[in-house]
Chains A and B, each alone.
Chain A
Amino acid sequence: MSSRGGAVDRGTFRCTLQVRWADFDQYGHVNNVKYIEYAQEARILFIRSRFGPFGLGNLPQVVRRVEIDHLRPVLRDSTSVDVEIEVEHVGTTSYQIRQTIFDAAGEVCAALRVVMVAYDASTSTAVEIPLGVRNVLDAAHHRTAITDHGSTG
């Protein structure tokens, strides 16, 4: 699993996902819908890798918002893509992440901003993010903030 779940400390999470034959459309590039699927798969690996150690790798959560910029196509010469995840904001019931999708050559192909909400399926309502998860997200968020400050200042 080393190629799929590569985690670097508590900073930016990065993983490698396989690009499938069926992901390409008639333009010879990955269809736009598939980027949402890559982003979802990366979030699953992120959650398992970061929340798993606290027994919260299966924390029920749902997508509240997805914003995506398609910057360049993923072409047939990419048999895999890398996805990076940075935590941008941690709220009471929700958190916001930035996901960046790279092709096999390391070029940025898509950037997403996603809001996730902790969820109780039995009542179909948002719930507070459990403390263990909040700590992990806060740590990742602070690391991101420090890195951003360092790069601009």
Chain B
Amino acid sequence: MLETGGPLGVSGEPGRRVFTAAIPVRWSDQDLYHHVNHARMITLIEEARIPWLFEEGTPTLTLAAGAVMTDLAVRYRGQIKYADGPIRIRMWCEKVGGAMFVARHEVRGRTTPDSAPPAVDCTATIAAFDLATQRPRRFTRAERDHLLGYRHEDPT
């Protein structure tokens, strides 16, 4: 069995609920410095949101038809190596508006415990978007409720 530093999937009580995804690292994610390249890290973080928000049966699956990133802040505090994969990415919401939400992400190596600082933390603002009209749109009630389930009252 895979040794992991913490729970996967949904964990934590209401008000502190977190979704944790395990994402395999590819050889090609590495750069000349033998660690995961910073730009590839953003792709890995993007991938982590798929099981969180776009899994079959998830109310936010409708966002897969159109959602755009409007702001992205990434802090690289440590390195991630190929051998650290599958990496664990913990995610929750800092803010949920009518048409956008702010997602928080913490990236750790497979066996790094949640009590240790993350190698990367990332804050992303994502807006619902109608591809047909090329305009932002408002969340449906179901989408917003699902996101609110992951909103932290103290989003630190």
Does A22 contact B28, Cβ atoms closer than 8 Å? no
Residues of A within 8 A of B10 (CB): none
Q: DSSP majority for the B interface?
A: helix
Does A21 contact B46, Cβ atoms closer than 8 Å? yes
**What is the minimal beta-carbon distance from B84 to any residue of chain A, in angstroms?**
13
Does A37 contact B26, Cβ atoms closer than 8 Å? yes
**Contacts A37-B26, A41-B26 given; does A22 touch B47 at CB 8 Å:** yes
Residues of A within 8 A of B27 (CB): 40-41, 44
Residues of A within 8 A of B50 (CB): 21
Q: How many residues of B contact A (CB 8 A)?
A: 10
**Contacts A20-B47, A22-B43, A22-B47 given; does A40 touch B28 at CB 8 Å:** yes
Does B28 contact A1, Cβ atoms closer than 8 Å? no
Residues of B within 8 A of A21 (CB): 46-47, 50
Residues of A within 8 A of B28 (CB): 37, 40-41
Of A17, A22, A40, the residue contacting B24 (CB under 8 A) is: A17
Does B2 contact A20, Cβ atoms closer than 8 Å? no
**What is the minimal beta-carbon distance from B31 to any residue of chain A, in angstroms?**
15
Does A4 contact B24, Cβ atoms closer than 8 Å? yes
Q: What does the 1/0 interface line of A1-12 toward B look like (CB < 8 Å)?
A: 100100000000
Q: What does the 1/0 interface line of B1-20 toward A look like (CB < 8 Å)?
A: 01000000000000000000
Q: Which 4 A-B pairs have the closest CB atoms?
A: A44-B27, A18-B24, A20-B47, A22-B43
* Interface contacts beyond A18-B47, A20-B43: sample of 18 additional A-B pairs, CB < 8 Å, sorted by A: A1-B2, A4-B24, A17-B24, A18-B23, A18-B24, A20-B47, A21-B46, A21-B47, A22-B43, A22-B46, A22-B47, A37-B28, A40-B27, A40-B28, A41-B26, A41-B27, A41-B28, A44-B27
B residues at A contact (CB < 8 Å): 2, 23-24, 26-28, 43, 46-47, 50
